[in-house]
Amino acid sequence: MGFDSIIAAGISLILLIVVSYVLFSGFFASVDSMTAAMKDALSSKGDQIKTNISVDYDYVRTYGHNITLDMYNTGNTKIIELSGVDMIMTFSQTLNNSTETSYWIPYVEDINATGLGWTAEEITPDMINPGIWDPGEKIRCRVVLPDRPLTGTLGWLVTTAPNGASSSGYFHVIQEAPLA
């Protein structure tokens, strides 16, 4: 009878050690996972803080369905993938619609093959890292819209980088003759 209680106590002790090991292993794995996620979030936020896009809202020009504007990388982060840069434009009035109209404008390589999109016509000066939007460089953008904004109406533009940094501002639609 004495050995039965010693064996039961030994088995209980072994089970207690195994259960404790499993619980602590799970706890340490979840702490490691949480720490890695926090590091990634801080790194992403740091990149976002170092990224700054500005738009010359005084230069926004409209030629029918085409809009030309200049964007500047005034931050400290280069933007490698222009396809990740999105624009949203809202106009108080367009030719086909008398009410407020908004467009989400994706980046497209061949701007002439689409009725909605934006492309980088040129990056200046583009001496270092050609094709990449480095800090201090300007992009001349051409936007194609399905509707033509009316001259004199108010427009609003939001530009967002792939890491979430954004710029927004108002501009007036100014119609000019198309470039030759």
Q: Is residue 20 predicted with pLDDT exceeding 70?
A: yes
Per-position DSSP letters for 22-33, written without gaps between them:
HHHHHHHHHHHH
One-letter amino acid identity for 56?
D
What is the number of domains present in the chain? 2
CA distance 146 to 114: 9
142 and 108 part of one domain: yes
Q: What is the predicted pLDDT for the residue at 178? A: 58
Burial of 115 per CB tally in 10 Å (0-12, 13-18, 19+): exposed
22 occurs within a structural domain: yes
CA distance 24 to 87: 48
CA distance 118 to 110: 9
127 and 110 part of one domain: yes
Q: What is the predicted pLDDT for the residue at 163? A: 83
pLDDT class of 180 with cuts at 50, 70, 90: very low
Q: What is the predicted pLDDT for the residue at 97? A: 61
* Higher pLDDT among residues 44 and 90, named by residue: 90
Q: Which CATH number belongs to the domain containing residue 164 in this structure?
A: 2.60.40
Q: Cα 36 vs. chain centroid, distance in angstroms?
A: 22
Q: Is residue 75 predicted with pLDDT exceeding 70?
A: yes
Q: Is residue 175 predicted with pLDDT exceeding 80?
A: no
110 and 27 part of one domain: no
8 and 76 part of one domain: no
- What is the DSSP-derived secondary structure letter of residue 133? B
Cβ 52 vs Cβ 133: under 8 Å: no
Tens-place pLDDT, residues 45-59? 666 667 788 888 778
Q: What is the predicted pLDDT for the residue at 96? A: 63
Domain hosting 33: range is 1-50
Q: Is residue 28 predicted with pLDDT exceeding 90?
A: no
Which residues neighbour 91 within 8 Å (Cβ) at sequence distance 6 or greater? 100, 101, 102, 147, 149, 150, 153, 154, 155, 156, 173
CA distance 32 to 9: 34
75 and 15 part of one domain: no
Burial of 133 per CB tally in 10 Å (0-12, 13-18, 19+): buried
Tens-place pLDDT, residues 119-172? 988 998 988 888 888 888 999 999 998 888 888 888 899 998 888 888 888 888
Find the range with the poorest average confidence among 33-47, 57-71, 119-133: 33-47
Q: What is the predicted pLDDT for the residue at 1? A: 56
33 and 44 part of one domain: yes
180 occurs within a structural domain: no
Tens-place pLDDT, residues 82-125? 888 899 999 887 666 667 788 999 999 888 777 899 998 899 89
